[in-house]
Amino acid sequence: MSVLLSCCHFYVCRPKIAYVLTAIIAVAIMILSLTPLEQLPDAPGSDKWHHFIAYGALAFPLSVLRIKRLWIALLLAMTLGGMIEIIQPYANRYGEWGDFAANGAGVMMGAILGLFLSRWYHKAFWRQGAA
């Protein structure tokens, strides 16, 4: 438990890490989603599950920080997912409403998990400081 608390403390005390990590994840999503492919790579799990995980990872870092305008960051993540689905047919890929729904669900789950971890960290940190 103290290892998780130490990791959270390191991360929360260095907010630039969250911004850089979010930018890296966004660029990776764009590259992976817009690179033309002749056929989808053979990866375990469904395509929708991959969208869910990727966009959850995108929303998670800034949610842990509880930035002031988190709702704007989440809206931008959803917009990114929508724009990619619109652009994909022009990049020899397929845009699907189901992918967009999985993107949105991932954003919301990443935000919920990030906010939950942030709340746990702040409670545990103050409890530890008071002890």
Q: What is the pLDDT of residue 1?
A: 61
Q: What is the pLDDT of residue 128?
A: 67
Q: What is the pLDDT of residue 80?
A: 97
- Whole-angstrom CA distances from 125 to 4, 17, 68, 130 are 11, 20, 20, 9
Write down the mean pLDDT value for the chain: 88
pTM: 0.87
- How confident is the model over 62-108, as pLDDT tens digits? 998 888 899 999 999 999 999 999 999 888 888 889 999 999 999 99
Residue bearing the bigger pLDDT, 38 or 78: 78
The domains of the chain are located at 2-35+45-130
- Whole-angstrom CA distances from 7 to 18, 25, 33, 80, 130 are 13, 20, 31, 29, 19
**Residue type at 107 in one-letter notation:** V
